[in-house]
């Protein structure tokens, strides 16, 4: 965009201060040079209304203006059109592995764990415009909901559509979820590859042990951030279906295998977080967002438009006008 006028050599503007004593000196000398005549009455003198006499003081004004324009021109005024171009130099590939078991409908987060997660995860995706993101869901088994992609609208739509619908066998197959996420990233050429593994329970399903899956992640140099979602103590869990198809809730203890989640994170150089509330879940994703920064190269292009030429032309015209009038019309002017 076009910015305000700047000066390449602003130091020259100090020369404008020298014009002040020049103006004062001219006024003082003009008074000294004015002839005086003492008479008893001026009634016999006719007042002169000569146009040339009125114009004569402007010769000095022309010179001062010309000098002012030259000083400003030497300071090199110019405007600049700045255009930016950004280029991702080192991107990150991210897979979010999300527990989709029935316990994610627990109401210790509002309105429930899954709804709270979908909102926070969507904000996380929108905050990573320069990275590729994929989505893996798991319960008693696991599958890829969205491959690693730079198509953010597709990832956001996949997140929005997440719901517990018995498509997956109920349970918590942490090992399967992690292994599926690793499989999405193992061939990636990105500078950094990370998995955000979220669960609200204890591993009780699947054919791959979480320890085995974390070993594979370590082997491929994939960092895993683990999140245990759920309050401390008791929470309202769905445990049966009413005749109208709605879930029936009851208070049950919250059980999260934190030792396992800590072990997975430590083995892969990641970190473990515990989300006990909506605000805590949001702060966790914000922290991961800050920990995994993408290097961006910003290129700026400057197109300068020099403004001194009209000032030089104006100064030249004023000087020629002043010199011409002084040596022609006002040559013998008193």
Given a cut of 70, whether residue 34 has pLDDT beyond it is no
Could you give the angle at which helices 278-291 and 113-126 cross, rounded to 10 degrees? 30
Q: What is the pLDDT of residue 1?
A: 43
Mean pLDDT of 204-223: 96
Mean confidence (pLDDT) of the chain: 87
Cα 98 to Cα 20, 114, 191, 286, 311: the distances in Å are 76, 9, 23, 17, 67
């700045």: which residue's tokens?
82
**Contacts for 202 with CB less than 8 Å, ≥ 6 apart:** 172, 255, 256, 257, 260
Per-residue pLDDT of 271-323, as tens digits, reads 999 999 999 999 999 999 999 987 655 566 777 888 889 989 998 998 888 88
- Packing angle of the helix pair 308-326, 58-74 (nearest 10 deg): 150
- Residue for token digits 């008893």? 40
The C-alpha atoms of residue 186 and residue 215 are separated, in whole angstroms, by 13
Q: Is the pLDDT of residue 2 over 80?
A: no
pLDDT at 215 over 70: yes
- Identify the pLDDT of residue 158: 96
Burial class (CB in 10 A: 0-12, 13-18, 19+), 200: buried
Q: Residues 9-32: pLDDT tens digits?
A: 888 889 888 888 888 887 787 666
- pLDDT class of 211 with cuts at 50, 70, 90: very high
pLDDT at 185: 97
Contact indicator for 214, 262 with CB cutoff of 8 Å = no
Alpha-carbon span 8 to 323, nearest angstrom: 31
Residue ranges, comma separated, of all CATH 3.40.50.410 domains in the chain are: 92-293
Mean pLDDT of the region 165-177: 84
pLDDT in the model for residue 85: 60
More confident position, 320 or 183: 183
Tens digit of each residue's pLDDT (9 = 90 or more) over 40-83: 555 555 555 566 666 777 788 888 898 899 999 998 898 887 77
DSSP 218: H
In this structure, the number of other CB atoms found within 10 A of the CB of residue 109 comes to: 25
CATH classification code of 92-293: 3.40.50.410
Residue 333's pLDDT is 53
- From CA 139, how far away is CA 144, in angstroms rounded? 12
What's the pLDDT score for residue 321? Answer: 86
């Amino acid at each position: 965009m076009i910015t305000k006028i700047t000066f390449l050599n602003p130091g020259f503007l100090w020369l404008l201060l020298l014009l002040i004593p020049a103006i004062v000196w001219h006024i003082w000398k003009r008074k000294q040079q004015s002839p005086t005549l003492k008479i008893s009455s001026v009634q016999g003198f006719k007042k002169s209304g000569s146009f040339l006499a009125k114009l004569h003081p402007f010769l000095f004004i022309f010179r001062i203006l010309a000098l002012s324009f030259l000083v400003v021109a030497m300071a090199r005024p110019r405007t600049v059109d700045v255009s930016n171009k950004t280029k991702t130099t080192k991107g990150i590939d991210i897979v979010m592995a999300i527990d989709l078991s029935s316990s994610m409908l627990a109401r210790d987060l509002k309105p429930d764990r899954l709804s709270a997660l979908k909102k926070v995860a969507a904000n996380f995706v929108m905050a990573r415009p320069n990275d590729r993101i994929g989505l893996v869901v798991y319960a008693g088994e696991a599958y890829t909901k969205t491959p690693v992609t730079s198509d953010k609208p597709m990832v956001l739509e996949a997140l929005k559509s997440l719901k517990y619908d018995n498509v997956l066998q109920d349970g918590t197959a942490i090992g399967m979820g992690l292994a599926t996420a690793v499989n999405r990233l193992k061939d990636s050429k990105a500078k950094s590859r990370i998995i955000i593994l979220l669960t609200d329970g204890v591993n009780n399903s699947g054919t791959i042990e979480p320890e085995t899956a974390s070993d594979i992640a370590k082997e491929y140099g994939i960092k895993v951030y683990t999140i245990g979602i759920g309050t401390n103590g008791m929470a309202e869990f769905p445990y049966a279906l009413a005749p109208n198809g709605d879930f029936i809730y009851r208070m049950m203890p919250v059980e999260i295998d934190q030792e396992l989640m800590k072990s997975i994170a430590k083995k892969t150089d990641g970190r473990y977080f515990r989300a006990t509330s909506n605000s805590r879940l949001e702060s966790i994703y914000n922290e991961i967002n800050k920990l995994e920064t993408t290097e961006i190269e910003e290129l700026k292009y400057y197109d300068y438009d020099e403004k001194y030429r009209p000032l030089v032309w104006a100064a030249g015209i004023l000087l020629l006008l002043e010199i011409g009038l002084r040596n022609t019309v006002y040559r013998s002017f008193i």
